[in-house]
Structure 1
Amino acid sequence: MKALCWHGKNDIRYDTVPDPSIEDPRDAIVKVSSCAICGSDLHLYDHFIPGMESGDVMGHEFMGEVVEVGADVHRLRPGDRVVVPFTIFCGECEQCLRGNYSVCERSNRNRELGDKAFGHATAGLFGYSHLTGGYAGGQAEYVRVPFADTTHIKVPDSLSDEQVLFLGDIFPTGWQAVVQCDVQSGDTVAIWGAGPVGQFCVRSAVLLGARQVICIDRVPERLSMAEAGGAIAINSDEESVLERLNELTRGKGPEKCIDAVGLEAHATRSLDSVYDRAKQAVMLETDRPHVLREMIYVCRPAGVLSIPGVYGGLVDKLPMGPLMNKGLTVRTGQTHVNRWTDDLLRRIEAGQIDPSFVITHQVGLEQGPDMYRVFRDKLDNCIKVVLKP
């Protein structure tokens, strides 16, 4: 079969790889109908996440048709149409029973590597390094899905791929980021990053009743999309984020702040960004935490910081004094996808939101290597890429 494979920094290739097969009675094989490039994939493309090996199949946003199931799979059968969440989970361990699917205790088959990197391993993830199990990803014609009875979301034929594909990651990721904020009716929610996750944060905050939603970015077309979703836009290249937030909140700061950027923050007007890039270049820091620093500084005392943006390692000069003294709450984590998807699917069916709004590019899987560069460099007004195997 054909798949997009990682061969080193900025080197994604359209390769021929072996077809997947049933390896465990709880497996299923899915024929992929649609997949996508996620902002998290760019951290692998730029090689900021360790544990990748040449030839690894990329991708963790995908959906398709079940074509084969193992003997112990009872909730799926060939012909079922499914979205596959990026988190692989058993549904039986202590964390899964609590709904904490992204930290499943059984699905990371390279648990010892995860333990060394994080203290305790997270769940297995599709296409996201050997720290999270080394599972082949979904930017391919076929995918083996472990723990298939639990690791799936059944979707109706009445909805298009484009409407439901993002239930596997970015829609529930934006939703969880806002839910973690415990939004109250009088709250201002400030969101850093107007990429795909940031766009779903904007719409989730509106749906969950925020009084005012603000989105901070430096790419005009992304800010325009956020405005169309109900946000007030701040272009960080053109105005002071601090001054504009103070103006919009009467000097009090936003109650809820969301980092939808993660480890590759860009800040052309800030000295700390220059510092981070210099430390990254000499391997003294892995992540660029400009957004984290700015959120801690501007957040209203007793506020909440929610961090769906991915971080991979070590950050420097984090202002712990303001964080502690202002009494801020920090909530983070990979998304517990299936905790939210029943509700979100109902909202899609009810017409409250059509997630396809975020798609700007739809091409064949063979064009994937070029689209990684287009997406990373924000060329051609690119916000979200969907690939068709």
Structure 2
Amino acid sequence: MRANCWIAPNNLAVKNVPDPQILNPRDAIVRITSTAICGSDLHLLHGYIPAMKKGDVLGHEFMGEVVELGPGVRDGLSVGDRVVVAFPIACGNCASCEDGLFSICENSNPNAAIAEKVMGHSPAGIFGYSHLLGGYAGGQAQYARVPYADVGTIKIEDDLADEQVLFLSDVLPTGYMAAEMCDIKRGDTIAIWGAGPVGQFAAASALMLGAERVIVIDRFPYRLRVARENTGVETINYEQTDVLDALREMTAGRGPDACIDAVGMEGHHASAALHAYDKAKQVTKTEPDRPHALREAVLSCRNGGTVSVIGAYGGFIDKFPMGSFMNRSLTMRSGQAHVQRYMRPLLERIRKGEIDPSFIITHTMRLEDAPHGFDIFKNKQDECLKVVLKP
């Protein structure tokens, strides 16, 4: 089959690779009909996630048709079913899964010992996201093996288009969880750093959960425009406005009730000096993350507020404002999205017309064009917000 493969940092190629096989009784083989490029895939492209190997198949946002099932798959999944696949691989049986914490499944990362050395404890395995997180082949391919398929898929039993449901795999539940972690009350003001797909869905979700005002912060006018046009939020361009000053003015000096970091480890900053500091440390591998958005979210949040961190981080950070965080009674909540927890409720919201996730799609391409899709997504060319690939 054909698949988009990581060759080396900033080097991808669509190649012939072996077809996936059933390896365990609860596996399924899915013929992929739609897959997407995620912002966190850029961390792999840039070489900031360890334990990548030449030829690894990328991609963790995908859906398609079940073409083969292992004998142990339960819950009525059948060959021919149309399914969306959750990006965290979860067994459904461990203590974490039973608590709904699917992205920290205790059984799905066969390389847990490697992750423990980096993180202290291992999270779940993730499709197409390095051997640190299991070495599973990803979904930017014609076919994929889906372990624990009875836990990691949701059937789509109606005529909703792929583009309406594909993002149940990752970015829609991720944005929703970011907003949910804010414990939003009626009348709250929520600030969101990042107007990429996760930030867009965090904004839409915050409004669905009852926020009175949502303020989205980014530096690309087209991304801010998409947020305004599709969710009606207020926006700040941080290259034109001092964010802390603007947020104080917009909230009568109090600060937002909760702040969402939807940026993560490759943040940019209007301050050239601070950006150069973090960039230099990241390039020399003395600091794996550029936490500009996180620092600013902490400093901006009102006293006693919540900082929700959904942007992906990989290691240690410098210059974290711990004094501000501790002395002002802030709460931080974070995590990779527990996608399986949210798939069905969000599918129902899509069916009811409460949200149409397809508004983030700007480009649809063939799988063969995946490297080009990564290039325009990485460089924000042609107003690229989200690329969907069609195998």
Structure 2: distance between partners of 1:235 and 1:385? 23
TM-score (normalizing by structure 2)? 0.98
How big is the shift at 1:159?
Answer: 0.4
Cα contact 1:202–1:230 (8 A) shared by 2: no
Deviation digits for residues 4-35 of structure 1 (CA, Å, limit 9, x no counterpart): 00011111100000000101111110000000
Aligned to 1:273: 275
How big is the shift at 1:268?
Answer: 3.2
Letter in structure 1 aligned against 2:203: V
Letter in structure 2 aligned against 1:204: S
Aligned to 1:122: 123
Cα contact 1:49–1:129 (8 A) shared by 2: yes
| Structure 1 ranges of 4+ moved more than 6 A | none
Aligned to 1:214: 215
Letter in structure 2 aligned against 1:368: A
Structure 1: which 5+ runs fail to align? none
Aligned to 2:43: 43
- Of 122-131 and 267-276, deviating more is 267-276
- Of 370-379 and 261-270, deviating more is 261-270
Structure 2: distance between partners of 1:199 and 1:296? 20
How big is the shift at 1:216?
Answer: 0.2
Aligned to 1:107: 108
Structure 2: distance between partners of 1:111 and 1:26? 20
Aligned to 1:372: 374
Structure 2: distance between partners of 1:262 and 1:376? 15
Letter in structure 2 aligned against 1:10: N
Structure 2: which 5+ runs fail to align? none
Structure 1: distance between partners of 2:270 and 2:283? 17
Aligned to 1:296: 298
- Of 377-386 and 71-80, deviating more is 71-80
Cα contact 1:81–1:157 (8 A) shared by 2: no
Structure 1: distance between partners of 2:282 and 2:178? 27
How big is the shift at 1:269?
Answer: 3.0
Structure 2: distance between partners of 1:111 and 1:314? 19
Q: Counterparts of 1:280-359 in structure 2 under 5 Å? A: 280-359=282-361
Structure 1: distance between partners of 2:82 and 2:216? 35
Structure 2: distance between partners of 1:124 and 1:300? 36
SS in structure 2 at match of 1:380: helix
Structure 2: distance between partners of 1:250 and 1:363? 46
Deviation digits for residues 173-194 of structure 1 (CA, Å, limit 9, x no counterpart): 0000000000011211000000
Structure 2: distance between partners of 1:233 and 1:100? 32
- Of 61-70 and 336-345, deviating more is 336-345
How big is the shift at 1:271?
Answer: 2.8
Structure 2: distance between partners of 1:151 and 1:371? 27
TM-score (normalizing by structure 1)? 0.99
Cα contact 1:102–1:335 (8 A) shared by 2: yes
Deviation digits for residues 211-231 of structure 1 (CA, Å, limit 9, x no counterpart): 110000000000001112121
Aligned to 1:383: 385
Structure 2: distance between partners of 1:116 and 1:7? 25
Structure 2: distance between partners of 1:98 and 1:145? 22
Deviation digits for residues 55-112 of structure 1 (CA, Å, limit 9, x no counterpart): 0000000000000000111231110000000011110001100000000000111111
Aligned to 1:143: 144
Structure 2: distance between partners of 1:281 and 1:365? 30
The root-mean-square deviation of aligned C-alpha atoms, in Å, is 0.8
Structure 2: distance between partners of 1:310 and 1:94? 24
Cα contact 1:206–1:230 (8 A) shared by 2: no
Aligned to 1:189: 190
Structure 2: distance between partners of 1:238 and 1:355? 29
How big is the shift at 1:270?
Answer: 4.6
Structure 2: distance between partners of 1:22 and 1:340? 27
How big is the shift at 1:272?
Answer: 1.8
Structure 2: distance between partners of 1:324 and 1:305? 12
Structure 2: distance between partners of 1:165 and 1:12? 23
How big is the shift at 1:283?
Answer: 2.2
Aligned to 1:21: 21
Cα contact 1:168–1:337 (8 A) shared by 2: yes
